[in-house]
Amino acid sequence: MTIKEDIQSRRTFAIISHPDAGKTTITEKMLYFGGAIRDAGTVKGKKTGKFATSDWMEIEKQRGISVTSSVMQFDFNDCRVNILDTPGHQDFSEDTYRTLMAVDSAVMVVDAAKGIETQTLKLFKVCRMRGIPIFTFINKLDRQGKEPLELMEELEEVLGIQSYAMNWPIGMGKEFMGIYDRYNKRIEQFRTDEEARFLPIDEEGELAIAHPMKETSYYTQAMDDIMLLNEAGNEFSEEKIRRGELTPVFFGSALTNFGVQTFLETYLQFAPMPQPRLTQEETIVDPVDTPEFSGFIFKIQANMNPAHRDRIAFVRIVSGEFERGMNMTLARTGKSFKVTQSTQFLADDRETVDKAVAGDIIGLYDTGTYQIGDTVVGGKKTFKFEALPQFTPEIFMKVTAKNVMKSKHFHKGILQLVQEGAIQYYKTLHTEEVILGAVGQLQFEVFEHRMKNEYNVEVRMEPMGNKIARWIENEEDVKESMTSARSMLVRDRYDQYVFLFENEFAMRWFSDKNEHIKLYSLL
Least separation in angstroms between residue 54's CB and ligand GDP is 15
Using CA atoms, how far apart are residues 88 and 98, in angstroms rounded to an integer?
13
If residue 520 lies in a helix (H) or strand (E), which one and from where to where? strand 519-520
Known binding-site residues equal 17-24, 85-89, 139-142
Nearer to ligand GDP, 126 or 260 (CB): 260
Tally of CB atoms within 10 A around 243:
12
Bridge partners of residue 210, in order along the sequence: none
Known binding-site residues for GTP equal 17-24, 85-89, 139-142
Nearer to ligand GDP, 44 or 518 (CB): 44
Least separation in angstroms between residue 16's CB and ligand GDP is 10
What is the DSSP track for 50-114? TTGGG--SHHHHHHTS--S--EEEEEETTEEEEEEP---GGG--HHHHHHGGG-SEEEEEEETTT
Contacts with ligand GDP, residue ranges (CB under 6 A): 17, 19-25, 139-140, 142-143, 253-255
Least separation in angstroms between residue 40's CB and ligand GDP is 11
Least separation in angstroms between residue 23's CB and ligand GDP is 3
What is the DSSP track for 429-479? TTT--EEEEESSHHHHHHHHHHHHHHH---EEEEEEEE-EEEEES-GGG--
Least separation in angstroms between residue 255's CB and ligand GDP is 3
Least separation in angstroms between residue 501's CB and ligand GDP is 31
Distances from the Cα of 242 to the Cα of 102, 125, 135, 364, 375, angstroms: 17, 16, 10, 31, 26
Using CA atoms, how far apart are residues 353 and 356, in angstroms rounded to an integer?
7
Least separation in angstroms between residue 400's CB and ligand GDP is 36
Using CA atoms, how far apart are residues 337 and 326, in angstroms rounded to an integer?
8
Using CA atoms, how far apart are residues 227 and 246, in angstroms rounded to an integer?
20
Sheet holding 167-170, edge to edge: 167-170, 178-181, 186-189, 198-200
